[in-house]
Amino acid sequence: MRKQEREIRDRKEIDGIIRQARVLRLGLCRDNHPYIVPVSFGYDGDFIYFHTPPEGMKIDYMNANDLVCFELEHDVKMLPDRDKACKWSVSYLSVIGFGRVQEVTVTEDKISALAQIMKQYSGGEWDFDPAVVEKTRLWRIAIEQLTGKRSKDRIVNQPY
C-alpha cells in the first residue's frame, strides 16, 4: 500500500468493515476480459458467500477462472470544499480481498450460506424453504488475502 498510514492491519477492524458493508463488488476475469459486478453477500469470518441465478455471465466467468478480487466499503461520505473545486475529498473505510470461488452444492452448506447472507442484512436467523434452497446456486470465496484502508480524515494522530 502506497500510503502506509492509511492501511488497516487489525483483522477485527477489517471484519467490522465487512460486517457493516452492504454491497460486495466482485471482480472476475475470463480470457483477459475483466468483469465487476455488485452482489449481496454474507460473511462468517472465513468465507464470503453470495448467490446467483441458475446461469449467467458471473457463472461463466467463475467457471473459467476461480481467482477473484472483491471490494467493500462502509460509511462513505463526501467531504466538499465550498471554495475549491479540486479540494473535495471522500471519507471512507474499505476492504479489498483476493481468493478463490467455488460453488456450494451440499444442502446443509447451502442453508448455512443463505443464513450468512440473511444475517448480513437482517442480523437474525431464518428458516428456508427446501424448494428455494434446492434451486438456489450459492458460492463461497475462500479468502486468501485482505487489506483494509481508511481515508485521511480517519487516521488517529494525523501527522498533517
| Residue from 48, 50, 66 nearest 141 by CA | 48
Instruction: For residues 117 and 130, give the distance between their C-alpha atoms in angstroms, rounded to a whole number.
Output: 16
- Cα 127 to Cα 133, 136, 137: the distances in Å are 10, 15, 17
List pLDDT tens digits, range 74-125: 989 988 888 998 888 889 999 999 999 999 999 999 999 999 999 999 999 9
Q: How is the chain split into domains, by residue range?
A: 4-152
The pLDDT of residue 102 is 98
Confidence of residue 156 (pLDDT cuts 50, 70, 90): low
The pLDDT of residue 146 is 96
User: Counting every residue, how long is the chain?
Assistant: 160
- Give the count of alpha carbons within 13 A of 47, CB side only: 20
* Mean confidence (pLDDT) of the chain: 93
**Cα pseudo-dihedral 97, 133, 63, 148, rounded to 10:** 0
C-alpha cell at 32: 483477459
The pLDDT of residue 23 is 97
**For the domain 4-152, what is the CATH superfamily, name and number?**
Electron Transport, Fmn-binding Protein; Chain A (2.30.110.10)
Instruction: For residues 160 and 144, give the distance between their C-alpha atoms in angstroms, rounded to a whole number.
Output: 34
List pLDDT tens digits, range 35-76: 999 999 999 999 999 999 999 999 999 999 999 999 999 989
List pLDDT tens digits, range 5-38: 789 999 999 999 999 999 999 999 999 999 999 9
CA 127 to chain centre: 24
Assess whether pLDDT exceeds 60 at residue 160. no
Q: Position 114: which residue type?
A: L
How wide is the angle at C-alpha 124 spanned by C-alphas 105 and 113, nearest 5°? 10
